Amino acid sequence: MNPIQTIRGRLRVTQAALAKELGVTQGNISHYEQGQEVPPTVAKMLIKFAASLGETITYSDIYGDPIYT
């Protein structure tokens, strides 16, 4: 499962509801769930929205852990 889809499940919201909260379209949410990179401004809004629901979401939850070589 994609990180955004997982987060959305944790928040128990639909794509449409999440899109409205983040100021993007439902199509954008669908693209993020299919692997399109989430812009940093949207990630920041997602973290704030999750916090308003009592959930802690981090950049690592959204983007995954960085790989160091």
Per-residue pLDDT tens digits for 44-67: 999 999 999 999 999 999 998 776
pTM for this one? 0.89
Helix/strand/coil (H, E, C) string of the chain? CCHHHHHHHHHCCCHHHHHHHHCCCHHHHHHHHCCCCCCHHHHHHHHHHHHHCCCCCCHHHHHCCCCCC
**How many whole angstroms separate alpha carbon 62 and alpha carbon 69?**
21
Average pLDDT of span 40-46: 97
What is the pLDDT at residue 68? 63
